[in-house]
Amino acid sequence: MTAAADPLCEKLREAFPSAILEQSSFRGETTLRIKTESIRDICLHARDTLGFDYLVDVSSIDHFGDEPRYELVYELYSLRAGAHLRLKATVSEDTGTAPTVSDIWPTADWHEREVYDMMGIRFENHPDLRRILMWEGFPYHPLRKDFPLEGKHSETPGVAFSEPAPLAGGPFVTVPTDGTTQVREPRARHAGEIPPSDKFIAEP
């Protein structure tokens, strides 16, 4: 993030002192955690007053086991100032809704549709909220952490990948654990055993 973003963040905090809950910086990027009900007001102000004219992305995170369960992440950029700003807002599992910003930045249309399709968060007043990757009628949201990696059976005849995919101990099969990535890595469950792919790479 360039230095130009610092005064812009301060102006946003001055305009919404009670709606901005936290500010943090990491590797030159600034993140503002905001109240969900203030998303539209803050985004409008960021675009019209502060010059954040480009919505790079809208993504979502599943904090499975915590409440609020979901988190929305908005990546904003000002082409004029060369400044990047990240906004984060939580979404309760009970409501599962957030306001749309597709009328503020048209690019949010497909971003929000993907979040709805993959995570199940609904965007109020979105003009065309329908699935964008999975087919209509698919009953699940594949990026939720309680969705198994091998998939689920779907009663949709004639549609590709409607059967669970056999992983058979593949490299992406993990087990639920509070441990680190090293513990979750499937090969950690086979102490002393080097997978065939690694044996091939290690050989001269």
User: Residue 117 belongs to a domain with what CATH number?
Assistant: 3.30.460.80
3-state SS, residue 182:
helix
Higher pLDDT, 140 or 185: 140
Please say if the pLDDT value at position 194 is more than 90: no
Average pLDDT of 29-47? Answer: 96
Q: What is the DSSP string of 48-76?
A: HTT---EEEEEEEEE-TTSSS-EEEEEEE
Q: Do the domain assignments include residue 103?
A: yes
Q: Do the domain assignments include residue 183?
A: no
Q: Do the domain assignments include residue 173?
A: no
Q: Within 13 Å of residue 61, how many CA atoms lie on the same side as its CB?
A: 12
Give residue for tokens 């609020």: 68
pLDDT score, position 62: 96
- If one counts the domains in the chain, the total is 1
Per-residue pLDDT tens digits for 59-114: 999 999 999 999 999 999 999 989 999 999 999 999 999 999 999 999 999 999 99
Share the mean pLDDT of the chain. 83
Beta carbons of 145 and 61 less than 8 angstroms apart: no
Range of the domain at 69: 5-143
Q: Do the domain assignments include residue 199?
A: no
Please say if the pLDDT value at position 171 is more than 50: yes
Q: Do the domain assignments include residue 160?
A: no
Q: Do the domain assignments include residue 150?
A: no
Q: Do the domain assignments include residue 170?
A: no
3-state SS, residue 85:
strand
Q: Do the domain assignments include residue 86?
A: yes
pTM of the full structure: 0.77
